[in-house]
Structure 1
Amino acid sequence: MALLAKQGWHLQMGSESLVYRIPKAKYFPTSDFVHASIGHNPSYTWRSLISAQSLVIEAELIKSIPLSAILPVDKMVWAETSNGNFTVRSAYKLAVNLITSATCGTTSDGSSLRKFWKKIWSLPIPHKLWFVMMTNAAGEEKCSQLVTTALALRSNRNEILYGGEGKTGPAMSLWTTHYLQEYCSAVDSCLHATLDPVQPLLDAQRKSLLSIWSPPSAGLFKINVDGALFSSKKQAGIGVVIRDVEGRLKATLCRKIKAPLGSLEVEAKAYKAGLLLAKHLGLRGVMLEGDSLIISNALKWFTLSPTSVDAFVEGLHELGAEIGVVNFSHVRRIGNKSTYILARQAQNLVKDVIWIEEIP
């Protein structure tokens, strides 16, 4: 089985050999090996390779795990949330999914349920008003009126329950109509405000400011990092640009990663590559800047790290302590464009390329 898995791994990674091109053309022309099926009238060789497919899938999942610069202690995490913490909401969602899959089987695609909730949330009513008995025959206006009437009835019941004076039926109907009118007027006002002809000019000015590189504090070097995914090739690329306070290039790096990583994991590796390059250059004070708000907030202790990069972020702090002064900053993609272009160029590389004090 291990030898079959090895051959399956070669098929997954792809090559230009005839041994790869023949099964790909016949059994998985539009996908890869881990998503291939046994097909019709398969050969004995293909049936044997498919039997080891699960091992290849596990190997690819293991390879996609970003490794930390340190070896942190293992810990238990809750897999249903991004930060690994248990929440009642995630447990409820998991329970509903398990019950649904057990009662409906695997043939139900949930399309009717998705249409139902899409219609619920598209109603033109104030937020946090819920109504769970809506039929497809009911129009949008009637549903809005009905939900708001339900709110009026509930408010009227609470008023009477706590010793207040309840409204009559006509009074509640009038209140419902006025409430909906005020809400629709407020929504229209917000819409007209966004259509202000001055707003696009302000947005353009804001974008132009964001696209300008800003220097670091005196005595620091700024490290801009970014990552790019090449999903079809199961690869990724990272780019690093280091400048001094005057904007002069200190060093740039372009690297290809041959692993099926996710976008967050690629960004984390780009941060690590930036710090390692600065360490090798002997820099003692840097500002590390990227366009991943999730990782940036985690590095600045604003939020908890997602489980997939938690150990990686911890390793970045350890690596930063070895350098000396490390400040973290976030920039939007438009202000990090040069680094992103460098990361995209990695798909054409065979090995890492580093430029020292020269333009790539």
Structure 2
Amino acid sequence: MTAPEAAATTTGRPPPRSRTVFAAAHVVADPHADTTPDGPAALDWDATLAFRRHLWAHGLGVAEAMDTAQRGMGLDWGSAAELIRRSAAEARATGGRIACGTGTDQLPPHGATLTDVRAAYEEQLALAEDAGAQPILMASRQLAALDGGPDTYRDLYGHLLRQTTRPVILHWLGPMFDPALTGYWGSPNLDAATETLLRIIADHPAKVDGVKVSLLDAPREVALRRRLPKGVRCYTGDDFHYPELIAGDAHGFSDALLGVFDPLAPLAARAVHLLDTGDTAGFRATLDPTVPLARHLFRAPTRYYKTGVVLLAWLAGHQRHFTMIGGLQSARSLPHLRRAYELAAGLGLFPDPELAATRLRTLLTVYGAPEQDQDQGQGQEQVQEQEATVVYGAEARRTGQGT
């Protein structure tokens, strides 16, 4: 039996016409920087920007400096600001679409006032707009910590929306992605929170391009999108139910802003372009088989999905190492990572399946997995073993692979 063939990697696709689609992109750490888990992030800028070009080449937009980029989990505001500037410049140079997360993470975790939160948002909004990027108003941990009611959110968001020069994307990230955001929009009751969000949008419909909903609750998202004002998009952030939400129903559909589209870019682009031709069945046939991988990557604790995303980028050859800022490569177990490989290999996501298998074998060897365990469940015949020259680096006989 031969290794599974890689998914088609046709590049140079135009953006899809039937849906607006963003992939929330991960960042590539600099493994040679002398850093500490709680120190400033150190990024490999060449590899990080190359991955964004990969997403644009498939016709996808890039959602920058979001939680997929470890925002709030290792990516500090100074590094996020530089990421926004560099990625926005790259987008202008390549003609790619970009939207950038703006929040309040330059503030300390606790003790900020509402005035502090407003000023922090204004600083980040100004930076994104000056860079030429569409802003995404990210949910704020510091705002959630204030325990303000619905009027607090309505007043603050109204103040910010009146200042923006272009329509923004609002951001509702559920507590499964970030426990510090419990009670966002002024209530832990999701029905009450929905009403507050809808009032904010209704107050400023021309200033809201859409709302990104990451609650992993498909019926709630469908109910919300049916109540949005005309012209305001619902961007699904539901990494469990995205095929059905993007396909839509007789009453409408969701656009997409998804972390899972980082590793799924080739298949996601192919699927959404099928929708452009009216081939909904083909769209579902392409994207439905990816859901088991997505559910595995995003299983609880969901916020650690970034580890699997970066693993797959390394196995696919997009970067030379499996190292993350803050040491987050250790946030998932070895069995979890091996299963992610198996599911991705079954989808044909690796352009070079032999490289992916060899890199996985290297990872298992580093962690002392018995040789028989290294061969179990890899979904393909045993490949010839190659010696690794560094623990988290490229293989000696594959110099030049990846970025």
- TM-score for both structures, normalised by structure 1: 0.24
Structure exhibiting the larger radius of gyration computed from Cα positions: 1
Higher normalized helix content (fraction of residues): 1
- TM-score for both structures, normalised by structure 2: 0.22
